Amino acid sequence: MSTFVTKSGVSLYFKDWGEGQPIVFSHGWPLSADAWDAQMLYFGERGYRVIAHDRRGNGRSEQTWDGNTMDVYADDLAELIEHLDLRDMIMVGHSTGGGEVARYIGRHGSKRVAKAVLVSAVPPIMLKSESNPYGTPIEALDGIRSGVAGNRSQFYLDLTGPFFGYNRPGAKDSIGIRQSFWMQGMMGSVKSQYDTVKQFSETDFHADLAKMDIPTLVMQGDDDQIVPFAASGELTAKLVKGAQLKVYKGFPHGMPVSEAETINKDLLAFIQS
């Protein structure tokens, strides 16, 4: 098992497969690097070096009590990137991982980055306010915290419905995808996952997006029930200079998993463009 110890002494698990131009994947909440399996296999088979880590407190990485903040997540990722000496890399972040990618560039710059992709990502800011009327109300976020702190196991099973759009009429349900989500969620630290709710919802990424000076693709489904499109992808594409926006009719928040065939082809087209 590949692990890396940060300067603060935290052990992080990561996958590093293949050779070629590196693609670095940052996973969403409350998941792990395994959420990118479909992309890791697809791009690895096409001559890319694919890297994905379990964020601290998630998956097989160390479960820390402190340090569950977006700044620390970005700094952990920066240390891993430097440890592997990755250059000319493509950064791909889903949901909370999209915030991690933006914060990495905001704090560490883009000298090692060739392109970036934000998929169903939380920037510029998820929390509803007077200046962000289409965001998520604090009451809904408090409900997520209550679910994590309460019967976390049942909460994660229930969350797979809106996460993958299985609660929509006519949706083709997948028990396997639901179970994989549940397993990844339950592998993580309840403390980290509880803390991260505030991080993915209340972190303001406007300054980070302004520093994204590399070609950027923003991808999101218009039926995202977790991160509202009008408060995220639609705004992010306007805030990142020269960003491309690709909107998927009827696709859910978890589209990199449930709609992997479509997403992979579009990712490849952008990377090769």
Catalytic residue numbers read 95, 224, 253
What is the Cα–Cα distance from 84 to 182, expressed in whole angstroms?
A: 30
Residue with tokens 């620390």: 72
Tell me how crowded residue 153 is: count the other CB atoms within 10 A of its CB.
Answer: 11
What is the Cα–Cα distance from 251 to 230, expressed in whole angstroms?
A: 14
Q: Which helix (H) or strand (E) holds 149?
A: helix 138-149
What is the Cα–Cα distance from 34 to 164, expressed in whole angstroms?
A: 16
Would you call the peptide bond into 124 cis, given omega within 30 degrees of 0 as the criterion?
Answer: yes
What is the Cα–Cα distance from 243 to 238, expressed in whole angstroms?
A: 7
Would you call the peptide bond into 30 cis, given omega within 30 degrees of 0 as the criterion?
Answer: yes
Output the CA–CA distances (angstroms, integers) from residue 258 to 52, 200, 225, 227, in the order listed.
Answer: 19, 22, 14, 16
CB 227 within 8 A of CB 218: no
Alpha-carbon torsion 190, 192, 195, 197, what sign?
Answer: negative
Alpha-carbon torsion 149, 154, 157, 160, what sign?
Answer: negative
C-alpha Rg value of the chain to the nearest Å: 17
What is the Cα–Cα distance from 25 to 264, expressed in whole angstroms?
A: 13
